[in-house]
Amino acid sequence: MSNVDKKSVENEIEDKIYLNKTPYFTIAIFSFVFISLAFILNFPLEEKVQGAITKALKSNKSCQVSYSKMDFSLFLFPSFNLKDVTLPGRCFGQSRSAGLNFSTVDIDIVRPTVLPPGVLIETKIKDKVTDLSIFASMGITSASFRVEKSQVEGDLIAKAGNLPLKLKGSLSVDALIDTDYKIPTAGSFHITSKDLTLPPQMIKIFQLKNLSLAPLVLKGNLKEGIVRLLRFQVGNAQSKIEAIFTNGVITLNPKNPRLHKADLEGKLRLGEAFLKEYPIINAFLGNAKKDEKGFYTIELKGLLSQLRPKLL
- As a whole number of angstroms, the distance between CA 47 and CA 125 comes to 23
Q: Please state the separation of Cα 209 from the chain's center in Å.
A: 31
All structural domains of the chain with their residue ranges = 225-312
Cis before residue 116, ω within 30 degrees of 0? yes
- How large is the average pLDDT for residues 90-95? 71
pLDDT band at 169 (very low <50, low <70, confident <90, very high): very high
Give the pLDDT score at 282.
84
> For residues 197 and 14, which has the higher predicted lDDT (pLDDT)?
197
pLDDT above 90 (res 288): no
Q: Check residue 215 and give its pLDDT.
A: 96
Dihedral of CA atoms 9, 14, 17, 20 in degrees, nearest 10, equals: -90
> What's the confidence (pLDDT) of residue 43?
47
The average pLDDT across 209-218 equals 93
pLDDT tens figures, 102-154: 999 998 888 888 777 888 989 999 998 899 999 999 888 888 999 988 999 99
Would you say the pTM of this structure is higher than 0.75?
yes
pLDDT at 28: 54
Give the pLDDT of residue 49: 61
Confidence of residue 13 (pLDDT cuts 50, 70, 90): very low
Q: What is the DSSP string of 118-151?
A: EEEEEEEEEETTEEEEEEEEEESS-EEEEEEEEE
DSSP for 61-86 reads TT---B-SEEEEEEESEEEEEEEEEE
pLDDT at site 45: 53
Residue 19 pLDDT greater than 50, yes or no: no
Q: Is residue 74 over pLDDT 50?
A: yes
